[in-house]
Chain A
Amino acid sequence: MMTATTSRFAWARQCSPMLYRPGAWMAILLVAAGFAVLPMLNLWLPADHAWYVSQHTISLIGKFICFALAALALDLVWGYAGILSLGHGLFFALGGYAHGMYLMRAAKDSPQALPDFMVFLSWDQLPWFWSFTQYPLYAWLLVILVPGLLAFVFGYFAFKSRITGVYFSIITQALTFAAMLLFFRNETGFGGNNGFTDFKWILGFDITAPETRAGLYWVSLLTLLAALVLGRYITTSKLGRVLMGVRDAESRLRFLGYEPAGFKLFVWTLSAILCGVLDVNYLGRSTTTILADFDEA
């Protein structure tokens, strides 16, 4: 056990500027390239061709890529820092709602038109938190800021008071549960039980067109690759080693003079943001996400 750990550290120190060994880089890029080719097979080959990949497969694999990103975000906090979160579904959903607000606005002819569910509730104007969401850049900013901010505030209090292990997991679950109750109310202004449906346009492209789908797919793939590299960079850095220390023996780390709260807060917030970002890619379809990923988390 001891030797395995030391040798892993030694190796990590060796190749940290490169992140991966050249062979590993090759493998990663090859696999990524393999996945990147799939939408082309869908777009450019006739439907009866032997290599043709159906639209369904593409969106399914697209979904898998998103889940891989979620898994990566979870691995960062759980695998490296030993913080098991049952609340990542919430960050995922927050990102989804933020991005969904833009998509809902874009689905209407005029940005000021109300989404259908608000019309059913006979509201006459958009709630304040919907303002400016017709601008995609602002909505994407929200995708990063909202989950990040919530994670930061929550994590700040939780880690400051040294809530660890199982207690932390249960509290995150409670938080998700509370948020789910909140979002399922019609009065909250996020479509209640039905969530957001009927997306039509994204940045002026038809969201159901195969080309747009393929574009989203590539964006997801690139995001995943970027997140992988970022995660690898963090975990092989000195910071990553402190995180592993948190996981293995938090008290000892504290005795050595480190304050674990800050490290944990950083990786926790980062992971939440990653989780939120993945929604930009995930929400090509009409979904309420919050329940789905409550299971997935």
Chain B
Amino acid sequence: MTRWLYRLCVGWLCMMAISTQAATLLDKPLAQQLVASNPAQRLAAIEALGQAATPHALLVLRALSQGTVFVRPDGEVLLSGDEITNVLSGAVVAALPDDAKRVALNNRLRGALQTEMAYASLFDNSKTVKLQAAQQLQSVANPARLSILQRALSASNDSDLIAAIELAIASASLQLPDDQVRLVAIEKLGQSGLGQFKVALTALLQPSVDGSYAEPQVVREAAIVALEKIERQQKLQTWLGNIFFGLSLGSVLLLAALGLAVIFGLMGVINMAHGELLMIGAYSTYLVQTAVSEWWPAGFDYYVLIALPVAFVITASVGMLLEKTVIRWLYGRPLETLLATWGVSLILMQAVRSVFGAQNVAVVNPSWMSGGWRVMGDLVISYNRIYIFFFSLFVVALIWVILNRTRIGLFVRAITQNRRMAGCVGVPTGQVDMLAFGLGAGIAGLGGVALSQLGNVGPDLGRTYIVDSFMVVVLGGVGQLAGTVIAALGLGTLNKLIEPMSGAVIAKISILVFIILFIQKRPQGIFAPKGRSAE
């Protein structure tokens, strides 16, 4: 008997659950308020939905913001998503009736809608949505809604999320009458180190018109302490950020200069077309991207990995062709080589312009490279910069292994030291020259792949890097791999540290002037070769 009753109960509960799912998304008065002609009423309805913060409310709010809520003259409210639902009855409608009118929004409503959606999103299933909502609410600071935030706080178990909601609560608590609560909130905001709270904290310090302060002494002192804390944090963030971005710029310079370090440093050939080899690498990435999205859309995320060998092969063949046809005939005449390769660079640039057009082409980051890592407070480093930094180190290691641990590397070093002697003992100098040049060019191609993930890909890409790359190689010392690495990272960091003081252009100019002066002192670079080879 009891068992039977129990079963009945369970069955009834199940039915209840099912029926609520199909049943009303909104109750009738609220729905009518939501579509009322008076904007103030609609605003109130939207706020009520945010206050309720139920999944249904979120559904309706999202539909409102997307403009998929319709009203019929008889007062029925329809919501068109994957299927068209009657908001009041929960019934699914086959098609949108002709007399259904879209519920319009004005700017004020839209603003409110964003905020209320954020409140409702605190109870979404996805963590990223919740986190975003909490961050958005940090700047809203409405003390009337503290209860929702508290509810969300008790419902969440993720540390990031808890921290974000706690900050939102603190910023809302600033307007509460209780001094003690405000003091706690102020301290919390001060610890966050986020610049966005500075306005609210400064507002606490403002005297009113008659010169008296609205806040008691204790609160004001706490606010000053919190402000100082934030400013200290921000200063630290700027410094760290500058160093991070400097290293990132350095790694870009390094990638651009490494190929040159092999060609110019080891072979003594001035290749002014080096920038164009970078550009060809970037365009190869673009081609691979297009091909992959055409024939293998599922593998789009991996196109960068495919592009690496492709770009290496393409640029290496262009480089070897260049060596075979032009540079080979100009060995020992550096100035002529310089001019001839400059001509080649113009030809390559114009060729790319004719094939792909003068406009930049679009290269998209794969999903695992987009987004960023929040280091602390406001400081976010994008993933592509991090990847590229490590990629550049990887390329350095690769070159080092090739030069120091392989037979061809041995040959290259032998030829660098004494070309004729190496030839006498049977090193095929001509062939090794070509291969070494191909290696340098291929590395430029790898650099081009990396550059395409950071900036614009256009025919002028190489132009912007060639001067910098030469600077890096000259500063690091010719034929010195370690020097190149240190020069690139050093120049990048220096540049980013000067930039905030004087602006980007002046920073660049002062770097160039610095290098010119440095070369006066040490014409052979940081790591000058010792011994008789130094003239």
- Chain A residues at the B interface, C-beta cutoff of 8 Å: 78, 82, 84, 157-158, 160-163, 165-167, 169-171, 173-175, 177-178, 181-182, 185, 295
Contact = CB atoms under 8 A, between A and B. Distances in A.
Interface of B: 270, 334-335, 338-339, 346, 467, 470-471, 474, 505, 508-509, 512-513, 515-517, 519-521, 523
A281 B271 CA distance: 35
5 contacts: A163-B520, A166-B270, A167-B523, A181-B505, A295-B346
A174 B473 CA distance: 13
Contacts of A163: 519-520, 523
B508 A181 contact: yes
A167 B338 CA distance: 11
Contacts of B516: 157, 171, 174-175
Contacts of B519: 161, 163, 167, 171
Given A157-B517, A161-B523, A167-B474, 11 more contacts: A157-B520, A160-B520, A167-B523, A171-B516, A173-B470, A174-B467, A174-B512, A174-B516, A182-B509, A185-B505, A295-B346
A67 B338 CA distance: 21
A165 B335 contact: yes
A170 B472 CA distance: 11
B520 A170 contact: no
Contacts of A175: 512, 516
Contacts of B467: 170, 173-174, 177
Nearest to B473: A170
A169 B335 contact: yes
Contacts of B338: 84, 166, 169
A157 B474 CA distance: 17
B334 A166 contact: yes
A18 B270 CA distance: 41
B470 A174 contact: yes
Contacts of A158: 520
Nearest to A84: B335
B335 A178 contact: no
A158 B520 CA distance: 7
B46 to A, nearest CB: 45
Chain B interface main SS type: helix
A178 B509 contact: yes
Contacts of B517: 157
Nearest to A251: B535
Going nearest first, the 4 A-B pairs with the smallest beta carbon separation are A178-B512, A161-B520, A178-B509, A84-B335
Nearest to A154: B516
Nearest to A83: B335
Contacts of A84: 335, 338-339
Nearest to A188: B505
Contacts of B520: 157-158, 160-161, 163
A161 B524 CA distance: 11
A166 B335 contact: yes
Contacts of A181: 505, 508-509
A171 B520 CA distance: 11
Contacts of A177: 467, 512
A181 B523 CA distance: 25
A70 B467 CA distance: 23
A175 B509 CA distance: 8
Contacts of A162: 523
B51 to A, nearest CB: 50
A60 B255 CA distance: 43
A293 to B, nearest CB: 14
Nearest to A157: B520
- Residue from A157, A165, A175, A178 having most chain B Cβ neighbours under 10 A: A178
A238 B515 CA distance: 35
A185 B502 CA distance: 13
Nearest to B335: A84
A296 to B, nearest CB: 12
A171 B467 CA distance: 9
B203 to A, nearest CB: 34
Contacts of B513: 178
A161 B519 CA distance: 8
A86 B474 CA distance: 16
Contacts of A78: 335
A185 B504 CA distance: 11
B212 to A, nearest CB: 42
Contacts of B334: 165-166
B421 to A, nearest CB: 23
B533 to A, nearest CB: 15
Contacts of A157: 516-517, 520
Contacts of B270: 166, 169-170
A173 B467 CA distance: 7
A264 B65 CA distance: 73
A162 B535 CA distance: 11
A82 B335 CA distance: 9
A171 B270 CA distance: 13
Q: Which of A175, A177, A182, A185 has the most CB of B within 10 A?
A: A177
A185 B520 CA distance: 28
Nearest to B506: A182
Nearest to B510: A178
Contacts of A166: 270, 334-335, 338
A163 B471 CA distance: 14
